[in-house]
């Protein structure tokens, strides 16, 4: 229904940054849900702090394309076109 739609998403960077070749996965929590964000590896440098159980991570704003995978592939994620730190 929303697959391929442009979205805005804002939240706290949490957990590890997982580099995969020229791209990286980050997880962003809006306080209720965490969503995977697929970003170019060079954009990782904008992130200063990653949240965990004892620390608050940077708040970021993402613009991108929502991807709804097949049910066997798991959760929705966002392919980022713009990332900014608040």
- Read off the pLDDT band of 23 (50, 70, 90): very high
For residue 55, the 8-state DSSP code is -
Report the phi/psi class of residue 33: left, alpha or beta, with left for phi > 0 and alpha for psi in -120 to 50.
beta
State the average pLDDT for the chain.
90
Other residues' Cβ atoms within 10 Å of the Cβ of residue 2: 10
What's the pTM value of the predicted model, to 2 decimals? Answer: 0.86
46: helix, strand or coil? helix
- Read off the pLDDT band of 72 (50, 70, 90): low
What Cα–Cα distance (Å) separates residue 51 from each residue in 30, 35, 41, 47? 12, 14, 19, 11
pLDDT at 28: 96
CATH fold of 6-85 reads OB fold (Dihydrolipoamide Acetyltransferase, E2P) (2.40.50)
pLDDT at 70 > cutoff 70: no
Distance of CA 41 to the CA centre of its chain: 12
């Amino acid at each position: 229904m929303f697959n391929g739609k442009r979205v805005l998403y804002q939240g706290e960077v949490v957990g590890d940054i997982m580099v995969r070749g020229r791209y990286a996965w980050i997880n962003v929590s809006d306080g209720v849900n965490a969503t995977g964000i697929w970003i170019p590896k060079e954009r990782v440098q904008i992130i200063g702090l990653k949240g965990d159980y004892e620390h608050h991570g940077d708040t970021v704003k993402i613009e991108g394309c929502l991807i709804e995978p097949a049910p066997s592939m798991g959760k929705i994620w966002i392919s980022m076109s713009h990332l900014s730190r608040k």
